[in-house]
Chain A
Amino acid sequence: METSSPVEISAEDAAAIAEALASLVRERLEDEAWDWFARTRDMLRTSKEDRTLYIALGLAPRRLGKEDLLSSSPSSREIALIEKAAACRAGWSPRHWSVDQAARVVFLLTRYHGEEGEFFALMERLFRTADVGELICFYQALPLYPGQALYLQRAREGARTNMRPVFEAVAHRNPYPRERFDEEAWNQMVLKALFIESRLDPILGLDERANPELARMLLDYAHERWAAGRPVSPELWRCVGPFARDEALEDLGRVLDSDDPLERMAASLALAASPDPRARRLLEESGSEFARAALAGQLSWSGLAARMAS
């Protein structure tokens, strides 16, 4: 299991991340766009004016486009650059970012002049007047800001939004919640993900941060959905399995007999993770293909997520 001890971002880290992102941006730009990017970045190194930064952030998608940072068939060079960037910060990677997002974050980090509190105040001003694209960008870069602890309330705010892509910028592929959220915040985020029909698999630390209270909340939620005649996401059982006893086992027994193969797969996985010996018996008695595969350790939650996506 990966460690979740909170990471700190030093001035050197911020500079290294900016440099790594800039070299990725370089790969995707024509000379003219690159010139604008490089000139703007130079200006921001010395500028303390908000206005310069606002204009740079506003112009980034216009001047640089919004293509994916990693081309559809990436060269080994591009992959090496992504890996180099990812190595700057544990648990993070810009693999799913776009060019304008990377450029915006380079601009932000370039504006960091060693004052964590001042930078945080600047970021709060930016969040307050952000458009939806900027919100996504600023939230997904949360794990890169110096003074990580300062951003806790901001991250929680992002995890409360109903704008799904903004929520996912906080919740998905982002090590910040895993490292900084307390149990209450964590549980709310996971429940919210299901609530807005987002996915659980891209949440980092999902298994490591599972806890009995979350399992209870999810069971209640499942019962609420069933009572209303609504489907329950198969992914829900992932955070229930490790704590499934008694009533939860009865529920999982029913899900194991579902008509939906994804539900059967999820129930098999969850039962295999249960500490209760009765869970194993349920699987053995079921005799279904998924139950056998789960007992043999041949199923994974990521496999379930991939099936759900296809």
Chain B
Amino acid sequence: MYLDPHTHMISRTTDDYERMAKAGVVAVIEPAFWVGQPRTHVGTYIDYLAWICGFERFRAGQFGIRHYCAVGLNSKEANHEELAEGVMEILPRFALKEGVVAIGEIGYDEQTALEEKYFRLQIELAKELHLPIMIHTPHRDKKKGTRRTMDVLEEHGFDPSWVVIDHNNEETVAEVLERGYFAAFSIYPHTKMGSRRMAEIVKRYGPERIIVDSACDWGISDPLAVPKTAELMRRMGIPEDHIRKVTYANALEVYGKSGQIREEDWLNPPPIDQRLLYMGNTILRGGQEPRIEEPRALEDSLEIR
């Protein structure tokens, strides 16, 4: 059973949902992000948030996958001040939607003053609503940006055990863990983290507070990154309970603090959900481990570089 805690399913196809379900992914978390095309007014942002809390959640349920969200103003679009002001005004309306497990993904892109302003405002919103935070760390000037992110969170007195710092690498992980945060890694071809490197990190640092995700989106990315990385770790001799922590349990623990994601959601969903919103994972029966139906499909490409 896997939980992929960073996916942008809005950019993915039904084939992806099918393959994920077959590979044992029972739940995904979809943080609000930059959709590639810049939004020009708050109306499209409202529709976007309603979409990921609405149709996308329904769509995932049809494939037996439970879908959760994080809502927020992403760092790139924080630089569009008029849009940013509008989003901040409507954000509280979405933060309490069903299945919203965090404010995110938020943080820095180019580390501008506007990015910082809206980052701080959203930390305060998460505090007010008792929600965890999912952090996007910058692709450029990452090490400094990651450190600055943590400094700002601490200035606001935000509890690190309620924060997932995502898109880590070998250079950032030690400090993130040391300061008490959850450290997530996006197994994303060519840019962020590779699956073999990921396994080495788990070997070195152990499984506590480490989270593996795919961050699959509209770019070249892999919605099976979590199951594939788990399988590679298995072959590299990493103990099963460590694999479970980094590909399932740790994410459930931190995002579970929202009260909006629980194992029962997929193992024993409320009757009304079973009738309406969740077609059930055909692979799951009575809380058992899912059988992975496509070992061969995983076999070809366990290594994501």
Q: Distance (Å) between the CB of B69 and the closest chain A CB?
A: 9
B270 touches A66 (CB 8 A): yes
Query: Which of the residues A66, A132, A134 comes within 8 Å of B272, measured between beta carbons?
Result: A66
Cα–Cα distance between A133 and B68 once the two chains are bound (Å): 13
Tally of A interface residues using CB under 8 Å? 24
Which chain A residue shows the least CB distance to B273? A66
Q: Distance (Å) between the CB of A159 and the closest chain B CB?
A: 16
A-B contact count (CB 8 A): 62
Q: List residues of B whose CB falls within 8 A of some A CB.
A: 46, 49-50, 53-55, 57-58, 90, 92-99, 259-260, 270-273, 275-277
Q: Distance (Å) between the CB of A32 and the closest chain B CB?
A: 15
A54 touches B96 (CB 8 A): yes
Cα–Cα distance between A49 and B1 once the two chains are bound (Å): 43
Q: Is A253 an interface residue when CB atoms closer than 8 A count as contact?
A: no
Q: Distance (Å) between the CB of B1 and the closest chain A CB?
A: 23
Q: List residues of A whose CB falls within 8 A of some B CB.
A: 51, 54-55, 58-59, 61-62, 65-68, 98, 128-136, 163, 165-166
Chain A residues with Cβ under 8 A from B271's Cβ? 67-68
Cα–Cα distance between A135 and B272 once the two chains are bound (Å): 14
B97 touches A131 (CB 8 A): yes
Query: Which of the residues A62, A130, A136 comes within 8 Å of B276, measured between beta carbons?
Result: A136
- 17 more A-B contacts (CB under 8 A) besides A59-B96, A132-B53? A62-B259, A65-B270, A67-B270, A67-B272, A98-B270, A129-B46, A130-B50, A131-B53, A132-B57, A133-B98, A133-B277, A136-B276, A163-B54, A163-B58, A165-B58, A165-B276, A165-B277
Query: Which of the residues B98, B270, B272, B276 comes within 8 Å of A131, measured between beta carbons?
Result: B98
Cα–Cα distance between A66 and B96 once the two chains are bound (Å): 16
A131 touches B55 (CB 8 A): no
Cα–Cα distance between A98 and B270 once the two chains are bound (Å): 10
Can you report 7 A-B residue pairs in the complex whose CB atoms are below 8 A from each other? A54-B93, A128-B46, A130-B54, A132-B53, A132-B98, A136-B276, A165-B276
Chain B residues with Cβ under 8 A from A130's Cβ? 50, 54
Cα–Cα distance between A68 and B90 once the two chains are bound (Å): 31
A129 touches B98 (CB 8 A): no
Chain A residues with Cβ under 8 A from B259's Cβ? 62
Cα–Cα distance between A66 and B55 once the two chains are bound (Å): 20
